[in-house]
Every structure is written in structure tokens, then in C-alpha cells.
């Protein structure tokens, strides 16, 4: 028996025992009823619930019980049955009491809650759900009962209903301005996974990285995004950039691959920075591939020197794509204002092969320049179905979570 449930049982025993021993009870309960019930009360105080049930059972043969005597007996039987783990017996006793209470008060609501928790402890999840919902429909407001119903659905294998309950609780929290708990989101995510609902699972991962930005959640979310139908391999470098800022470059090959993609895209200084991080984290420069790491690092250094000679080139005949790429390169090289202006010029010029990708990169450039508000506005404008919108939304979440 859990400590919480034990306390609930003892509180009920204290309340109901007092009723039996009061002067009013002594005047109302006949001696032949009062003697075994008082003995049961003492046994309940000693947590000897099965023995208490035996003493309570002695009253069953007594004829012509008054309404009050029935009420006292069933209260005592209910609490003893709860303590003994005989939840069906407790439910039967409380049902008889509740039948006389069309509008359950606080005490009756506690009975219903206790039975729901008892069934949950007994792993009878269908009955735990029924009594938990009965509590809610009767006006009970304890959040723990809602959690009990949700978990009962889940443990009973009804993931659709569990997911629905979790969504309802999540919506209520958001409406009240409360941040959902990590466990709450994890359970909802598990419900989606059990139903192979990848879109639902991704939506939960987004909430997890927004409120609990652990690298593991980011890794799962980024992997999920890349598996979506239509996601373009062209965006691999952008994925690696998110992996970098969320501390998810976890191997030498990750650092090498990102650096190579940056070089291919024409951003050697970005490649330098990535490789420097890899060396600082002892991922590069060690092991049998240390020489290969050095060769790539030397190549990045060489191209970076050459790149700096041609950074500022705003020939009016250049395409919008070239202006955007050159501007991004300027931002990476620490010339944020010039670079951002060039990227904006390229987007305004039009004729872009991938307009949403250009806006995505402008948002990333704003972040590099330390302008998160402008970045957020830019990310919001990205609508591409090739993965650019997904990445823009993730960048917006990451920016907000890290600010």
C-alpha cells in the first residue's frame, strides 16, 4: 500500500470512528451493533483490516437495521475493505452509501476517489477508469484523478483514449498558462508512438524541446524531420547546424561531414569553426583518422584565406542566389550588417531557385548576428514543403529556448 493511499485510509477511519464513538452514535446504534463496530474501529486503527472485516460481518445477521446503522456499517466496511485490498467489497459498500447521495459532497467524493485509486493499485484499470470518471462527473477536481484515468487507459492498452485524455489535460494546462510536465509530454508522445502517429509524436517532441531542451529530444526530433516524405537532402547542412547548436554532433564523422558540407556550400570559415569545435572536444585529431582530420582542416584554412579576398563583390549582374550566399558568408566572417543587407538584396531581386531556403538562411544569419527578433519574423515567413518550414520552426524554437 502506498503511503498516500495508507494516509487516505487512516483519515477515513479517523472520521468514521469518531462518528461511532460520539454520543449521537451511541444513542443511535444499538448495543449489539455498536460492540462489534467499535471493535472493528480499533482494529482499523491498528491497520488490521481483515480482522476488522470479520467483526463488521458479525452485524450482518442483526435484523431490522435503521438507516443510520446501515450507513455506519457500510462506512466501516468500506474503509476496512480498502485497507485489506478488497476493492470490489469497498466499491459495493460505497455504492450503497452513494445511492443515498444524489449530489455527492466532499466526503462522498473522497470515497469515489479512494475506490478509483484502490482499483488502480490492484491493476484493475477498467474499473479504475470507471470510478475515476465517476469522480470527475460528480464534480471532483483533484488533478491526480485525471492522471490516474490517463495512466489507466495507457496501462490497459487503450492508447487512443490515453492520448485523448493527455491532449485534454495539455490543452487545459496551456489555457491556464501552465507549462506541461515533462512526464506528461513523454506519456503523450508514447501514446502517439504506440499508434504509429508520427506527426503527433513530432508535435510532442517540439513541445519537449521548447520546454525541456535536452539534446536527446533534439536528436530524436531532427532524425524524425529528416524521415518525413519530401525532405530535401539539400538541407543537410542546415540540419547539421541545428545539431551543432543543440550539442548533437557526437562523433568525428559528424564534425567531418558538416565541415565538408560547409566547404561544398562555399563557407570555409564555417568549416573552420566546426573543425575547431571538434578538436576542442577531442573528437578530431585523435585515432587512426587523425591525419585525415588534419588534411581537411588544412583545406578549410586554405579556402578560408582565399575566400576572404573575394568576400565583398556586389556586381549588379549577379543572381539573387549568389547575393544571398555571399551575404551569408559575410555574416559568418563577422561582417553582419554588410552580409544581412546583401542577403536582403538577393531575396528582393527574386529569381531564386529556392526562395524559402533563402529566407531560412536569412533567419539563421540574423541569429548569428545576434538579432533573434528579426530571425523569428524571418522563420515565420518560411513556408516550403521540402523541409524548410520544418527547419525554420525548429530554429525558432531553439532560439527561444536558448534566449
Domain CATH number, residue 369 = 1.25.40
Residue-level pLDDT at 106: 87
| Of residues 268, 222, 263, the one with CA closest to residue 243 | 222
Of 172, 201, 227, the position where a domain reaches its end is: 227
Q: Read out DSSP for 3-38?
A: HHHHHHHHHHHHHHHHHHHSHHHHHHS-HHHHHHHH
- Would you give the end-to-end CA distance of the chain in angstroms? 45
Q: How far is CA 347 from CA 213, 220, 257, 269, 336, in A?
A: 32, 32, 28, 23, 16
**329 shares a domain with 257:** no
**2 shares a domain with 84:** yes
Dihedral angle computed from the Cα positions of residues 176, 177, 179 and 184, in that order, rounded to the nearest 10 degrees: 20
Sign of the dihedral defined by the CA atoms of residues 276, 278, 281, 283, in that order: negative
CB 365 within 8 A of CB 343: yes
Domain that holds residue 90: 1-100
Per-residue pLDDT of the chain in tens (403 residues, 90 and over written 9): 555 555 555 555 554 443 444 444 444 788 899 899 999 999 998 999 999 999 999 999 999 988 888 888 988 999 999 899 899 998 998 888 888 776 778 888 988 998 999 999 889 999 999 999 999 999 998 989 999 999 999 999 999 999 999 999 999 998 999 999 999 999 999 999 999 999 999 999 999 999 999 999 999 999 999 999 999 999 999 999 999 999 999 999 999 999 999 999 999 999 999 999 999 999 999 999 999 999 999 999 999 999 888 776 555 547 999 999 999 999 999 999 999 999 999 999 999 999 999 999 999 999 999 999 999 999 999 999 999 999 999 999 999 877 6
**9 shares a domain with 56:** yes
**Which residue has cell 531553439?**
398
Cell of 257: 561531414
Q: Read out DSSP for 49-76?
A: HHHHHHHHHGGGG--S--HHHHHHHHHH
Q: Read out DSSP for 183-204?
A: HHHHHHHHHHHHTT-HHHHHHH
**94 shares a domain with 3:** yes
| Of residues 234, 238, 210, the one with CA closest to residue 222 | 238
Phi, psi of 49 (to 5 degrees): -70, -40
Phi, psi of 196 (to 5 degrees): 55, 35
CB 396 within 8 A of CB 374: no
Is 152 a domain residue?
Answer: no
Is 156 a domain residue?
Answer: no
| Of residues 91, 70, 72, 73, the one with CA closest to residue 82 | 91
CA angle (227 as vertex; 222, 228 as ends), nearest 5? 100
Of 227, 250, 277, the position where a domain reaches its end is: 227
Is 384 a domain residue?
Answer: yes
**63 shares a domain with 89:** yes
Task: Give the whole-angstrom CA distance, residue 1 versus residue 120.
Answer: 11
- What is the pTM (predicted TM-score) of this model? 0.80
**248 shares a domain with 220:** no
**300 shares a domain with 339:** no
**73 shares a domain with 45:** yes
Task: Give the whole-angstrom CA distance, residue 114 versus residue 101.
Answer: 17
**273 shares a domain with 202:** no
Of 275, 308, 341, the position where a domain reaches its end is: 308
Is 122 a domain residue?
Answer: no
Task: Give the whole-angstrom CA distance, residue 81 versus residue 34.
Answer: 19
**44 shares a domain with 17:** yes
Task: Give the whole-angstrom CA distance, residue 364 versus residue 238.
Answer: 9
Is 111 a domain residue?
Answer: no
Is 196 a domain residue?
Answer: yes
**41 shares a domain with 1:** yes
For the chain, how many structural domains are there in total? 4
CB atoms within 10 A of CB 133: 18
Is 328 a domain residue?
Answer: yes
Cell of 224: 524524425
CB atoms within 10 A of CB 120: 23
Is 129 a domain residue?
Answer: no
* 317 φψ region: left (φ > 0), alpha (ψ -120 to 50), beta (else): alpha
**295 shares a domain with 355:** no
Residues 305-333 as b/e (b if ≥16 CB within 10 A, e otherwise) read eebeeebeeeeeebebbbbbbbbbbbbbb
Residue-level pLDDT at 22: 41
Amino acid at each position: 500500500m502506498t503511503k498516500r493511499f495508507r494516509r487516505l485510509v487512516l483519515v477515513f477511519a479517523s472520521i468514521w470512528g469518531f462518528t461511532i464513538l460520539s454520543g449521537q452514535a451511541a444513542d443511535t446504534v444499538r448495543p449489539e451493533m455498536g460492540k462489534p463496530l467499535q471493535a472493528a474501529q480499533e482494529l482499523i486503527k491498528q491497520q488490521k483490516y481483515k480482522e476488522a472485516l470479520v467483526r463488521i460481518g458479525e452485524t450482518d445477521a442483526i435484523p431490522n437495521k435503521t438507516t443510520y446503522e446501515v450507513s455506519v456499517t457500510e462506512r466501516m466496511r468500506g474503509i476496512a475493505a480498502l485497507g485489506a485490498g478488497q476493492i470490489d467489497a469497498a466499491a459495493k459498500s460505497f455504492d450503497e452509501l452513494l445511492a443515498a447521495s444524489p449530489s455527492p459532497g466532499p466526503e462522498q467524493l473522497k470515497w469515489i476517489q479512494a475506490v478509483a485509486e484502490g482499483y488502480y493499485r490492484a491493476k484493475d484499470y477498467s474499473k479504475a477508469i470507471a470510478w475515476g470518471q465517476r469522480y470527475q462527473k460528480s464534480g471532483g477536481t483533484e488533478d491526480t484523478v485525471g492522471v490516474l484515468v490517463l495512466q489507466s487507459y495507457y496501462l490497459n492498452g487503450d492508447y487512443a483514449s490515453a492520448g485523448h485524455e493527455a491532449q485534454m489535460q495539455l490543452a487545459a494546462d496551456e489555457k491556464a498558462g501552465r507549462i506541461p510536465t515533462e512526464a506528461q509530454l513523454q506519456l503523450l508522445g508514447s501514446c502517439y508512438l504506440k499508434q504509429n502517429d508520427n506527426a503527433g509524436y513530432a508535435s510532442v517532441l517540439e513541445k519537449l524541446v521548447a520546454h525541456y531542451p535536452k539534446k536527446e529530444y533534439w536528436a530524436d526530433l531532427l532524425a524524425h524531420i529528416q524521415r518525413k516524405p519530401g525532405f530535401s537532402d539539400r538541407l543537410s547542412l542546415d540540419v547539421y547546424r541545428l545539431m551543432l547548436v543543440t550539442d548533437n554532433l557526437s562523433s568525428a564523422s559528424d564534425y567531418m561531414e558538416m565541415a565538408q558540407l560547409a566547404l561544398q556550400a562555399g563557407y570555409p570559415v564555417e568549416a573552420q569553426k566546426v573543425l575547431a569545435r571538434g578538436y576542442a572536444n577531442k573528437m578530431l585529431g585523435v585515432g587512426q583518422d587523425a591525419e585525415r582530420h588534419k588534411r581537411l582542416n588544412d583545406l578549410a584554412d586554405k579556402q578560408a584565406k582565399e575566400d576572404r579576398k573575394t568576400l565583398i563583390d556586389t556586381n549588379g549582374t549577379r543572381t539573387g542566389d549568389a547575393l544571398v550566399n555571399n551575404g551569408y558568408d559575410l555574416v559568418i566572417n563577422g561582417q553582419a550588417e554588410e552580409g544581412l543587407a546583401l542577403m536582403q538584396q538577393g531575396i528582393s531581386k527574386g529569381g531564386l531557385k529556392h526562395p524559402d531556403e533563402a529566407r531560412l538562411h536569412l533567419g539563421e544569419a540574423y541569429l548569428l548576428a545576434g538579432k533573434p527578433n528579426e530571425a523569428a519574423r524571418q522563420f515565420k515567413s518560411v513556408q516550403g514543403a521540402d523541409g524548410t518550414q520544418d527547419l525554420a520552426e525548429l530554429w525558432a524554437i531553439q532560439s527561444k529556448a536558448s534566449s
